[in-house]
Amino acid sequence: MTDANGTIDTSRLALLASPTDRAREAASALADCMDWVPLDEASAVVVLGGDGYLLDVLHQMLDEEKVRPVYGLNLGTVGFLMNRHRGCEGLARRVAKAKPMQVCPLRMTAIDQDGIAHHSCAINEVSLLRETRQTAKIEISVNDKVRIPELAGDGVLLATPVGSTAYNLSAHGPILPLDSHMLALTPISPFRPRRWRGAILPDRSRVTFRIREPAKRPVMVVADQKEFRDVAEVHVEIARDKEMTLLFDPGHALDERIVAEQFVV
């Protein structure tokens, strides 16, 4: 995918576009920009769309075990994980000069009330959410030590640095620099413990969530977009064997965006 110096081979780029009209129009305009190759032959992937579509592409590559460096061009709404779309001119040069950022997803194992195990990865976060009007009650353990015997509220989430500015931020969780090697453990509308606002954990931590009274107070777990209902227990840790590379224009890298986001008023 890269040469000995870590440089992307821009003669072998794949192009993927979200199904929106705006992204498809941009893909048509870029079709003759260079000789695009199929994903299987690509050294890197140029993605047209928004953050959600980029996450879809990363998950697809994870599932197929064909992970390639990804250079996103924003044709969505927020575009936190994307670069500015500037058309065809200089695109290959921008990809070649892009700053690589290595990120690892979370690996989740969820055991439902029937004892069946479900597995998934999450690039942003793993979130546990109550399914009914009944408050969720969740025991939280870190490295096999119980830290919160009973969290009562709407739920709880565990976010990576990449995901710390997504749902985690909306739930008043901390923003994590990309190189912090930390995870954000954030309650969602907590009722008890009333003063607990969450925790920042080393990314080597293993976090276990056990549902109290699961039949009466059913809880679902969501790993990015993948949902599993009626869970009894959830285990989460970093999947270091699934490392991915995001490419950013110099001066617009994700770590700088994470810092800048903390000064938005």
User: pLDDT 10s per residue in the chain (265 long)?
Assistant: 554 345 788 899 999 999 999 999 999 999 988 899 999 999 999 999 998 899 999 999 988 887 899 999 999 887 888 999 998 889 999 999 999 989 999 999 999 999 999 999 999 999 999 999 999 999 999 999 999 999 999 999 999 998 998 899 999 999 998 888 999 999 999 999 988 999 999 999 999 999 999 999 999 999 998 999 999 999 999 999 999 999 999 877 666 777 777 787 6
Check 9, 40, 51, 179 and give the catalytic one.
Answer: 51
**Contact between residue 47 and residue 54 where contact means Cβ atoms under 8 Å apart:** yes
Q: Which two tokens stand for residue 177?
A: 């620099």
Does 154 belong to an annotated binding site?
Answer: yes
Does 168 belong to an annotated binding site?
Answer: yes
Residue type, 260: A
**Largest alpha-carbon pair distance within the chain?**
59
- Residues 54, 81: one domain? yes
Q: 6 lies in a domain?
A: no
Cis link prior to 214 (omega < 30° from 0)? no
* CATH code (residue 147): 2.60.200.30
Residue 6 has a pLDDT of: 56
- In the residue annotation, 56 being an active-site residue is answered as no
Does 124 belong to an annotated binding site?
Answer: yes
Q: 90 lies in a domain?
A: yes
DSSP state of 204: T
Residue 265 has a pLDDT of: 67
Q: How many domains does the chain have?
A: 2
Its domain, for residue 206, covers 106-240
- Residues 30, 87: one domain? yes
Question: In angstroms, what CA-CA distances link 35 with 31, 32, 42, 59?
Answer: 8, 7, 11, 25
Matching residue, tokens 């390639």: 68
- Residues 156, 183: one domain? yes
The Cα 71–Cα 22 span in angstroms is 18
